[in-house]
Amino acid sequence: MGTLGISLGTTSSGIAIINGKELILENVHSFRAPWTAQKADYIVKRLLKYLVHYHIQLVVIKLPPRSHQPESVRALIAKLTEQCNYHGCIVKTCTKSELKRHIVGARNTADMMRYVASHYPSLMQKHEQAQKHKNQYHAKVFEAVLAAHIQNTKSG
């Protein structure tokens, strides 16, 4: 009965599952194939597996900025939202700026990642790797964790 945070993208998506105050799972899924309707179906199907397996009730989707939302992204958001609702989940959305507003003094992604790692020590190694390699791949996980964390804190 947890919260699924998703940092949505068409080439990679970060996911995090939080139940109470415990981070159950975090991961990044890569989707390197060119965009097609079948790719959208594949992404949604892959993310929906978490709903059933972890008995998810709330899904929080961190959206890309409006300027990075071509028709393919908007279609993916609509399809994912529709399927989450079909499975009985409440769906909320947020942006990176909204996430950062919940962190006192956060100016950038590094501040956000540091905050998340301080609340979930199991992410400290990923945080160090991300800092060392300046890897956007890891940032997706931290965005997903923060999105789930904030909503979980509000409802818990």
What is the pLDDT at residue 125? 81
Residue located via tokens 């991961």? 27
With b meaning 16 or more CB within 10 Å and e meaning fewer, what string describes 26-47?
Answer: bebbebeeebeeebbeebbeeb
Rg of the chain on CA atoms, in Å:
15
Query: What is the pLDDT tens value at each position of the chain, 156 positions in all?
Result: 799 999 998 888 999 999 988 999 999 999 888 888 899 999 999 999 999 999 999 999 998 887 777 888 888 899 999 999 999 999 999 999 899 888 988 888 888 988 999 999 999 887 777 777 766 667 899 999 999 999 988 765
Architecture of domain 3-155: 2-Layer Sandwich (3.30)
Looking at the chain, the number of H-run helices and the number of E-run strands are: 6, 5
Sketch the domain layout of the chain as residue ranges.
3-155
Inter-residue contact 113 to 142 (CB < 8 Å): yes
- Strands 58-62 and 90-94, how do they pair? parallel
Residues 6+ apart with CB under 8 A from 116: 123, 127, 142, 145, 146, 149
